[in-house]
Amino acid sequence: MPSPLSGPFRRDRFFQFGLLLVALVIGAAVLAPLLAPGGPYTGDPATAYLLPPSLGHLLGTDTQGRDVLTRVIYGARISLAVGVISQVVASLLGVTLGLISGYYGRRVDAIIMRFADVTLAFPTLLLLIAVAAAVNPSLPVVFVVIGIVGWAAMARLVRGQVLVLKGAEYVLAARALGAPDRRILFRHLLPNVRAQVIVAATLGMAGAIMAEAALSFVGLGAQPPTPSWGSMVADGRDLLRVAPWVSFAPGIAIGLAVLGFNLVGDTLREAFDPKLRTER
């Protein structure tokens, strides 16, 4: 296959910008201890209480005297982890159930899809809040819950694709050769839905980052003093008039990270969509 990232997409401004943002998030997460001026938990409220941005503290300090820039950099770790883990969970569940649903059809399909409908019928955030509140709020719970909530959209996507593909002549040819279902599912169907799954997971990362931020903002995600962007925004919400940097810095980080993953996801979708490509 020609790489979908070749040709016009490499020069696409939006894609480049998105890629830059995603690279920044990944870079910050991986290199946090090297990039950050201090530790995420170290700070002395007596000497560094709510200092405005300066050369010593580029983004200022919070009420505990901790460096905001440091905490924003460390916060990338949590956001990235939420994005990756939740989408891995969503993809594993969604792809498996979507393949089964689309390929076997009939009753299996009806049952799986009704479960998907039920999942999708809940307002996602409300469901997340309900689940997070029911069990002890903690980050691992948030990772998994966001992933589980994401299975339904992924399963629908995969199922729809499989419904189209299972009538393709190469699938019929494989059946005529006597290929067992396992082989048809993994060698013929899965490789042909992979691109769509990657796109959906990339876009899903953006959603997961926002969901985690929202949960942490209301106190149902990361617990203090963990440097999560969502809880950092919450920390500063009463200080907006006196120390806006405390909320603004993590807020802008959330916005840019979400924007980055969305731009990359959108470009990938266009790249993989055969209708938008001139050659087959």
Partner 1 sequence: MSSPLVEVRGLVKYYKATGFLARKAPPVRAVDGVSFTVGKGETLGLVGESGCGKSTVGRTILRLQDATAGSVFFDGSDFLALDPAALRQARRKLQIIFQDPYSSLNPRMNVGNAIAEGIEIHRLAPRAEIPGRVAQLLEEVGLDPGYAARYPHEFSGGQRQRIGIARALAVEPEFIVCDEPVSALDVSVQAQVLNLLADLQARRGISYLFIAHDLAVVRQIAQRVAVMYLGRIVESGRTEEVLARPAHPYTKALLSAVPVPDPETKRLRIILPGDPPSPSNPPSGCAFHPRCPDPDKDERCTTERPVLRQIGGIEVACHHAKVNR
- Could you say whether residue 179 binds partner 1 (CB under 8 A)? yes
Cα–Cα nearest to 236, from 248, 254, 224, 253: 248
If one asks whether residue 176 binds partner 1 (CB under 8 A), the answer comes out as: yes
- 183 near partner 1, rule: CB under 8 A: yes
# of chain residues touching partner 1 (CB under 8 A): 21
Does residue number 188 form part of the binding site for partner 1 (CB under 8 A)?
yes
CB of 118 to partner 1, least distance (A): 21
The nearest distance, CB 271 to partner 1, in angstroms, is 15
Contacting partner 1 within 261-280 (CB under 8 A): 279-280
Residue 180 is a binding residue for partner 1 (CB under 8 A): yes
Q: Which of 13, 34, 191, 241 binds partner 1 (CB under 8 A)?
A: 191
CA–CA dist 255, 249 (Å, integer): 10
Region binding partner 1 by CB under 8 A among candidate stretches 22-30, 46-54, 58-66, 177-185: 177-185
Confirm or reject binding of residue 174 to partner 1 (CB under 8 A): yes
> Which residues, listed in sequence order, are joined to residue 67 by a DSSP beta bridge?
61
Give, rounded to a whole angstrom, the gap between the first and last alpha carbons of the chain. Answer: 10
Q: Of 41, 122, 170, 186, which one interacts with partner 1 (CB under 8 A)?
A: 170
Stretch of 50-58, 74-82, 184-192, 231-239 contacting partner 1, by CB under 8 A: 184-192
User: Nearest Cα to 25, choosing from 183, 256, 268, 212?
Assistant: 256
Task: Specify the residue, 149 or 199, whose C-beta has the smaller distance to partner 1.
Answer: 199
Candidates 12-20, 57-65, 178-186, 223-231 — which segment interacts with partner 1 by CB under 8 A? Answer: 178-186
186 part of the interface to partner 1, by CB under 8 A: no
Q: Which of 169, 182, 276, 278 binds partner 1 (CB under 8 A)?
A: 169
Q: In angstroms, give the least distance from the CB of 185 to partner 1.
A: 13
State which amino acid sits at residue 78. I
Sites of contact with partner 1 (CB under 8 A) = 1, 168-170, 172-180, 183, 187-188, 191-192, 194, 279-280
